[in-house]
């Protein structure tokens, strides 16, 4: 049986920001990475989360780098959904 630390390291760390965070009511959570359930991608997780809006209007970052919504995720990855950027 896997211990708590190995379970935690297998999870995907999810992060939301700004309007997305407030809409969802959370900023960070772990998403279980179950290898038997097939490859996880940002798109499959986005659909499972059931947040309002289209993924087309959201950018994806994996381990703090912009990435495609169809990139296969690895255990321990940090996945962020980023609403439209407005800096400067």
CA distance 42 to 39: 10
CA distance 76 to 67: 16
x/- mask, another protein, residues 24-63, rule CB under 8 A, reads -------------------------------------x--
CA distance 20 to 43: 15
Report yes or no: 64 and 38 within 8 Å, Cβ to Cβ: no
Q: Of 10, 11, 17, 51, which lies in the binding site for another protein, with binding defined by CB under 8 A? A: 17
Please state the closest distance from residue 5 (CB atom) to another protein, in A.
23
Q: Of 12, 19, 24, 46, which lies in the binding site for another protein, with binding defined by CB under 8 A? A: 19
Q: Of 8, 9, 18, 28, which lies in the binding site for another protein, with binding defined by CB under 8 A? A: 18
């Amino acid at each position: 049986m896997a211990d708590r630390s190995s379970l935690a390291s297998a999870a995907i760390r999810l992060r939301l920001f700004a309007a997305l965070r407030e809409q969802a009511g959370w900023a960070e959570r772990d998403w279980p990475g179950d290898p038997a359930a097939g490859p996880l991608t940002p798109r499959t997780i986005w659909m499972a989360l059931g947040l309002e809006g289209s993924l087309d209007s959201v950018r994806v970052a994996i381990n703090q780098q912009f990435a495609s919504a169809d990139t296969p995720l690895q255990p321990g990855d940090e996945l962020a959904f980023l609403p439209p950027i407005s800096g400067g």
